[in-house]
Amino acid sequence: SSLFVYPTKIIIKTCGTTQLLKSVRPLIHYSSNLGLSLSSCKYSRGSFIFPKSQPYPHTSFQDEVVYLQNVLPKNLCYDKASLMPSKLSTHTWHVFSATDESHLMFMHQPSTPTTFTFEICMTELDSVLARKFFRGPNDGKTGGSAGKVMTEMTRICDINPKAHICDFAFDPCGYSMNGLDGEKYSTIHVTPEEGFSYASFECVGSLCEGGGYIGDVLKKVVQVFRPGTMSVSTTCSSREVAARVAKAVEQVGMNCRSCTVDEFPVVGTVVFQTFTTRR
Amino acid sequence: MAASGFEGIEKRLELHFSGDDPMIGIGLRQLSFQTLEEILREVQCTVVSSVGNHFFDSYVLSE
């Protein structure tokens, strides 16, 4: 799990049976003590592998949306909740966004930068590669030093060689890392156990970074994990990125199975694509 | 698939705030570590590692 704190933005991403949405109320409270007020909110997730294990308010997407609508300030009245389906019944993308009027007006200014966010979920990881995220028994290392070994051994360090990486290996298995490259963050989380293996990759980028950048990053991510199934959710004001995603992922042996597009106030366009390995 | 195991799929929350004084420019980064830990207790997470740069602070969390 990861937390990123910018001057006017907070991103929290948590796995397991964490109750992420319970952070909203205290965040609003403590930020108001600093003279800040909440102006927009986006909540997203894939389909849980074990939905019945989730505690309230994560018991269903409907419960999550109702919970958010109750805790968010009333001025965030422009909201939308959407389920973005795919051809894989186990892969649905869940998105909720809410904003106030000031952000809604900002969105319509032509100078909005063309930045994008990738949220990638991978399952059925290659078992040989997944084994690299297990620690040896009594390895004598701290979570930090064992994490560094995994970052090097798996070549996660090559995904963005410019990034400063903060990594951590859990005992007996599992891995998390945050990458910092100027204003841009990236993050990886891995649950390597056979039968429910999972890895996620998330990063932000700019369309100005050149045509090869997006494809290069995606190819490296696929090569680290070699997943059987992968979903890529792209949030951007332009739909152009989605075509680059499909092209790059198909070059590393995966077929695009579905593509769903939806629009959200302030957030922009969300494109949800699923891929499976070409056997 | 196993009947039950560790849930890898993450929940992701992104919040944007307004009202930051651009002269100071650190806004939410003024939240103390203790305050962040208190917020994370609600989520059932703790900080296991952290690093920051000129632009933002990042925390690796338990779970």
* DSSP secondary structure code for residue A88 in this structure: S
Q: In this structure, are residues A33 and A25 in contact, taking their beta carbons and an 8 Å threshold?
A: no
Amino acid at B14: E
CB contact under 8 A, B28 and A9: yes
ipTM of the complex: 0.96
Can you give the pLDDT at residue B21? 80
Tell me the pLDDT tens digit for each residue of A82-121: 999 999 999 999 999 999 987 666 555 544 568 999 999 9
Q: Are A209 and A106 in contact (CB under 8 A)?
A: no
Give the pLDDT confidence of A211-251 residue by residue, as tens digits: 688 999 999 999 999 999 999 999 998 888 888 999 999 99
Q: Closest to A14 (Cβ–Cβ): which among B48, B57, B63?
A: B63
Tell me which residues of chain B, numbers 4 to 63, contact chain A at a CB-CB cutoff of 8 Å: 4-21, 25-31, 35-36, 38-40, 42-45, 47-53, 55-63
First vs last C-alpha separation in chain B = 21
- Per-residue pLDDT of A131-169, as tens digits, reads 999 999 989 999 999 999 999 999 999 999 999 999 999
The predicted-structure confidence for B8-60, as pLDDT tens digits, reads as follows 999 999 999 999 887 778 999 999 999 999 999 999 999 999 999 999 999 99
User: Chain centroid to CA A9: how far?
Assistant: 16
Query: Which residue, A5, A69, A105, is CA-closest to B15?
Result: A5
Q: Which of A234, A223, A19, A231 has the alpha carbon at shortest distance from A128?
A: A223
B60 vs B51: CA distance, rounded Å: 9
* 3-state class (DSSP) for residue A251: helix
